[in-house]
Structure 1
Amino acid sequence: MIRRSSVKDCFLVCPVSAVGGGMGQVVSYLMHGSSVDMPLRLVAIDARGPGSVLWSPYYMSVAIGRIVIAAARGRLGLVHVHVAERASLVRKGLVALAARMMGVPVLLHLHAAEIQPFYDRLPGWGRWLARGVFRRADLCVVLGTGWRDWLIDTIGVAPDRVVVVRNGVPMVAAPRLGDRSGPFRILFLGNLTPRKGVGDLLVALASPVLAAADFEAVFAGGGEVDTYRRQAAELGLDARVSFTGWVDRAQAAALTAAAHVLVLPSYHEGLPLVILEALGAGTPVICTPVGSIPEVLDDETTALFVPPGDSEEMARALRRLIDDAALRANLADAGRKLYSREFTMDAFVGRMAALYRELITANV
């Protein structure tokens, strides 16, 4: 057992406000979601800041300053940088560079859903800089084998410096506690944007396939709410669809537990927390097989897959679940078992703690 006075800090560099989305939620779970013993004291620092992105240079500078001061005082054992694409890669790359210059090991944790097309659009010098961000890290953590192969084959990171770690989430409800009376409840939970396939889901809900079905759909999340509210009205869905706006974690958990199905028809994803939370709640899932999703879910067993952008197939999948109680029960049971095997908080936090120990031992 390490004495408390000898424990160094691990700075978790990530958005810590609502703008952090799933990335910020992963960090919150890592810090507070498990009783697993950590070899370092976890401290979240924000390199973006809340509100306008125009303030991000200020918050990035503060984060770098904190790293430099803590490292100079001998209090910093590791910097765990959570990174996405676009501006996040620039900010976090500079933060990681500062840590490396101070002799502090860096763990780079990739959450980006669209990093590959983003990288492909960069000019040559931009790709060179992006490769440098990942290659200079002591270890890169990714959500699935597709990202691992991309970092090794395209970015040139050494294979022994890339590790797959699946996300973990707290169990929402086990067994399922949601009230199942009334209409069939369809839930979309996430940022309302085209990437998430929100418009495709609305078109599916207006399909003749579902015209006679007794359902209600809830779209929970921020983003382009007014745009999709107008689309729902144009499709004649006013009486069947509601938009809650942004919801906190307690509200999201309650909605997940009460839903008959979670639908996530995204075009690009990493490994969405909302899907893992639905598995733990025993809520069946309809989703697209993108990102790391098909690495962990099996079509017709732990989820129903639909092609991105295929609203008619989505409508047919929803109709199947509405009509087939046995299918719903089978998906719920298989989802809970999968969650218990692979996506608990103890499994996720324990894996991260083991990586922390490896890195600080290697850098003693």
Structure 2
Amino acid sequence: MKNVIMIGPASVSKGGIATVIANFEKTFTSEKVKIHYIASWKEGSPLFKVWMFLQAIMKLCYLAITQNINIVHIHTSQKGSLYRKMIFINIAKLFRAKVMLHMHGSRFGIFYDKQPKFLQKIIVNHLNRLDYIIVLSEAWKTYYENLCDTPVTVMENAVEVPFNNPYNNTSKTIVTFGNISQEKGSYDLLRAIQSLGANYQEYEFIFYGIGDISSAEEQIKQNQLTNVTLGGWVESEQKQTILEGALLHVLPSYHEALPMAILETMAHGIPNISTNVGGIPQIINNQQNGLLIEPGDVHKLHDAIADLLDNQETRQEMSTRAHQAVQSQFSMDACNTKWEQLYQSI
């Protein structure tokens, strides 16, 4: 039996990493691997976050002493998340455990380039201490292989996939999941909605997520976008109902790894309009199961939305292919088998 400690944000927290961990907790079962979960972060006051972090360190030490721990699997992104996780790397190595760092950050390269030389050296030294680096796409695999000497493995995110495609092709609701920000292309989408004008007023665009709410509200008000709603953060129970009633999902991001939002919506047969960045082209085959544009191209974004709203048959064809693509490549069962094999090989 392989004993694995998994460290990351609490599974009830907001964000893609928490969703990945929640999926592990819900679906990963094995007679050969046992996972012990440690939450190192959760929303709350600064003092509460410090307590969560210190508590996670104590739990890691306790498990390392009392259990025969083979692997410490650490989830991280960039900025403070990475620096905090360096402490866990050092503790795990102190107890002679194998360590894998699961990199989710879509802006890690930008973050790294902005660090002073001495911090870049510290980051690379810690990356070289690892036994494995886990990334979400081949592009990121190449990046980390050029940055450090640690073996890099691609393990895509995965989602639960309904057996039958539940897509509602007569819906009038277009959704976007993710933080409201320039990086996610939120303001590009608002400009595209404005340019669509009265011809598509019957469709409601709902932005689900947290972030720069006040700026988005101001732009919506200034441009009188009466068919745009800010839906706030969505809990998992609400998301199922939203997914069953969405016509399209639009995520015109500037930087991504492999977004859970795209996988979750495609699993429900919802055609996606997104950008040709990060790991997104691994799952969206342009013109086949969704549409891809270049980030920042508001004109092309407008055209892509209009094209799909105008063509019900194309939407249905894309929906069928989207559901099949996630079912075959990114289902939880297929992914959990890969994880079990990887844990066993270490």
**TM-score interval w.r.t. the shorter chain?**
over 0.9
Counterpart of 2:18 (choices 8, 19, 24) is 24
Q: Shift of the alpha carbon at 1:261?
A: 0.4
Could you tell me the TM-score, scaled by structure 1's length?
0.90
Query: Which residue of 2 is the match for residue 188 of structure 1?
Result: 176
Q: Shift of the alpha carbon at 1:185?
A: 1.6
Return the letter of the residue paired with 1:12. M
> Structure 1 CA distance, aligned partners of 2:218 and 2:17?
29
Q: State yes or no: 1:112 paired with 2:105.
A: yes
Return the letter of the residue paired with 1:192. I
1:142-157 pair list within 5 angstroms = 142-153=135-146, 155-157=147-149
Query: Which residue of 1 is the match for residue 233 of structure 2?
Result: 246
Counterpart of 2:314 (choices 327, 335, 357) is 327
CA contact (8 A) 1:172 1:253 kept: no
CA contact (8 A) 1:109 1:141 kept: yes
1:195-234 pair list within 5 angstroms = 195-207=183-195, 209-213=196-200, 214-234=202-222
Q: Please state whether the residue corresponding to 2:70 is helix, strand or coil.
A: strand
Q: Shift of the alpha carbon at 1:112?
A: 0.5
Q: Shift of the alpha carbon at 1:336?
A: 1.2
Query: Which residue of 2 is the match for residue 297 of structure 1?
Result: 284
1:256-335 pair list within 5 angstroms = 256-335=243-322
Query: Which residue of 2 is the match for residue 169 of structure 1?
Result: 159
Return the letter of the residue paired with 1:200. D
Q: Shift of the alpha carbon at 1:103?
A: 0.8
Query: Which residue of 2 is the match for residue 362 of structure 1?
Result: none
Q: Shift of the alpha carbon at 1:151?
A: 0.8
Q: Shift of the alpha carbon at 1:337?
A: 1.4
Q: Shift of the alpha carbon at 1:306?
A: 1.7
**CA offsets 1:180-210 (integer angstroms, 9 cap, x no match):** 546x321111221221111110110000x44
Q: Please state whether the residue corresponding to 2:173 is helix, strand or coil.
A: strand
Between 1:306-315 and 1:77-86, the stretch displaced more is 306-315
Return the letter of the residue paired with 2:204. E
Q: State yes or no: 1:15 paired with 2:9.
A: yes
Query: What is the aligned length?
Result: 345
Query: 1:150 and 1:45, CA in 2 relative to 1: closer, same or farther beyond 3 A?
Result: same
**CA offsets 1:303-324 (integer angstroms, 9 cap, x no match):** 1012212222111111100111
Counterpart of 1:347 (choices 325, 334, 337) is 334
> Structure 2 CA distance, aligned partners of 1:231 and 1:38?
53
Percent identity over paired residues:
28
> Structure 1 CA distance, aligned partners of 2:31 and 2:154?
19
Q: Shift of the alpha carbon at 1:342?
A: 0.3
**CA offsets 1:203-262 (integer angstroms, 9 cap, x no match):** 10000x443123111111122223212211111112x11112111112122212211100
CA contact (8 A) 1:10 1:41 kept: yes
> Structure 2 CA distance, aligned partners of 1:181 and 1:329?
10
Return the letter of the residue paired with 1:103. R
Q: Shift of the alpha carbon at 1:88?
A: 0.3
1:50-69 pair list within 5 angstroms = 50-53=43-46, 55-69=48-62
**CA offsets 1:108-144 (integer angstroms, 9 cap, x no match):** 1010010001001111111111112221111111001
Return the letter of the residue paired with 2:177. L
**CA offsets 1:27-78 (integer angstroms, 9 cap, x no match):** 11012125x4253322221222331345444332322222222212234232
> Structure 1 CA distance, aligned partners of 2:50 and 2:92?
17
CA contact (8 A) 2:41 2:52 kept: yes
Could you tell me the TM-score, scaled by structure 2's length?
0.94
Return the letter of the residue paired with 2:337. G
CA contact (8 A) 2:184 2:255 kept: yes
Query: 1:307 and 1:177, CA in 2 relative to 1: closer, same or farther beyond 3 A?
Result: closer
Structure 1 unaligned runs (5+)? 1-6, 360-364
**CA offsets 1:268-302 (integer angstroms, 9 cap, x no match):** 11100111111111110000111111233221112
Q: Shift of the alpha carbon at 1:18?
A: 5.0
> Structure 1 CA distance, aligned partners of 2:305 and 2:43?
37
Query: Which residue of 1 is the match for residue 224 of structure 2?
Result: 236
> Pairwise CA RMSD of aligned residues?
1.8
Query: 1:251 and 1:131, CA in 2 relative to 1: closer, same or farther beyond 3 A?
Result: same
